[in-house]
Amino acid sequence: MRGVRWGVRFVGEVLITAGLLLFLFASWELWWTDVTANREQATTIQALEKGFAIGGLPERGNQESMAILTKVPFGQAFGIVRIPRFGADYARPVLQGTDHDTLTKGMGHYVGTAFPGQIGNFALAGHRTTYGRPLHNIDLLQKGDIIVVETKASYVVYAVDRHVIVTPDHVDVIAPVPQQPGAKPVEAWMTMTACHPKFSATQRYVVFAKLLKVIPRASGLPSSFMAVPVGAVH
């Protein structure tokens, strides 16, 4: 009888412990990853801004700076994404590669896709939830919304065109001509992918934006591009 009581108590305590650990894991995933990732990504932004401010590239011309950009090593940050719809101070680093580690540090650039401003498709992946959730509000983007991709050489301005919701195997969304695999690109597009619905892996929310303008860093970014759209939630 004593043994049974002990056994029941032991099992109960194990179950309570398991419950607490699951709760702990949920709070880590939903809260702590945001805390650490936001801090790390803000530091990366500062370092990038500092690096961008140091001159040397712009006068060498866009061709050459693009050549340097295309040799960015895997995992390295090379750009800043600014989306006024997500707030005037919204800024997220762009890193080369889309593996788990890279995506905890910012948005990831699909290896092999175009670089900012290039003809083809500049494709990014970002977290919708957890790890600073850079694309948490991707579903709020509307046609015409401005996306500024800042690199050492220039401000590359895209305007949102449309979105699709697809299953994760739809790699055609990051094709050089979005959704037309095999087609020869003549325009510069940008694609962002995030999970959909939130906290799920079943689908992807994909936004396509079309190149509006490439502005050399020396010219500065007109403030009109950074105006927060009316009705933005932030």
Partner 1 sequence: MYGPLWRLLPGPWPVKALLALILVIGVVAVCFLWVFPAISPYMPFNSYSVQSGTPR
Closest distance of CB 217 from partner 1, Å: 29
**Which of 143, 111, 124 lies closest to 80 in space, CA to CA?**
124
When the beta carbons of 188 and 194 are compared against partner 1, the nearer one is: 194
Q: Environment class of residue 231 by beta-carbon count within 10 Å: exposed (0-12), middle (13-18) or buried (19+)?
A: exposed
The site for partner 1 (CB under 8 A) is made up of 9-10, 13-14, 17, 21, 24-25, 28-29, 32-33, 98, 100, 103, 108, 110, 125-131, 135, 166, 168-171, 173-174, 193-195, 199-201, 204, 206
Torsion 139-140-142-147 (CA) sign: negative
CB of 144 to partner 1, least distance (A): 24
| Nearest approach, Cβ of residue 98 and partner 1 (Å) | 5
Name which of 83 and 125 has its Cβ closer to partner 1.
125
Smaller CB distance to partner 1: residue 164 or 221?
Answer: 164
Which of 82, 92, 133, 195 is flagged as catalytic?
Answer: 195
Encoded tokens for 171: 């790699």
Toward partner 1, which CB reaches closer, 137 or 154? 137
Q: Rounded to an integer, what distance in angstroms lies between the CA atom of residue 110 and that of residue 189?
A: 13
Active site includes 195? yes
CB 228 within 8 A of CB 87: yes
Q: Which is nearer to partner 1, 28 or 143 (CB)?
A: 28
Of the candidates 82, 109, 196, 204, the residue annotated as catalytic is 204
Q: Are 79 and 91 in contact (CB under 8 A)?
A: no
136 annotated active-site:
no
Q: For residue 81, what are its two tokens?
A: 């994404």
Q: What is the DSSP letter of 28?
A: I
Catalytic residue among 127, 128, 133, 217: 127
Least distance to partner 1, CB of residue 194, Å:
5
C-alpha distance from residue 39 to each of 33, 42, 92, 149, 203 (Å): 10, 5, 11, 21, 28
End-to-end CA distance of the chain: 62
Q: How far is the CB of 15 from partner 1 (least distance, A)?
A: 11
Residues labelled as active-site residues: 127, 195, 204
